[in-house]
């Protein structure tokens, strides 16, 4: 297994990973989520109380094959945090009523 590109956003993670053809995607994701949650709970013990029974990751994930678009996907992952920041700034709600002086 090889992590080619990865970027952690506040509420999700993008990863470009190379796995052997004999390994199933669901098996790899189960291993990745299981081991990473154990490491996170070991390093940050206070999260055990927030996420009971060690359910840290959601059940779902999105997977796609890369093919000839590897460079495009690598660039997308690198730029994703900037895009999320820009979209968050655009969708900021106005908490002050503009009609009250």
Catalytic residue positions?
76
And the tokens for 23? Answer: 């390994």
Q: How far is the C-alpha of 82 from the C-alpha of 92, rounded, in Å? A: 16
Phi and psi of 60, rounded to 5°? -90, 165
Q: Are 15 and 76 in contact (CB under 8 A)?
A: no
Which of helix, strand or coil describes residue 48? helix
């Amino acid at each position: 297994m090889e992590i080619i590109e990865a970027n952690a956003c506040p509420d999700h993670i993008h990863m470009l990973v190379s796995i052997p053809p004999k390994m199933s995607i669901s098996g790899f994701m189960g291993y990745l989520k299981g081991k990473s949650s154990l490491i996170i709970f070991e390093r940050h013990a206070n999260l055990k109380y927030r996420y009971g029974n060690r359910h840290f990751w959601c059940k779902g994930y999105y997977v796609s094959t890369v093919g000839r678009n590897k460079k495009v996907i690598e660039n997308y992952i690198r730029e994703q945090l900037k895009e999320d920041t820009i979209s968050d700034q655009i969708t900021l709600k106005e908490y002050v009523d503009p009609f009250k002086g």
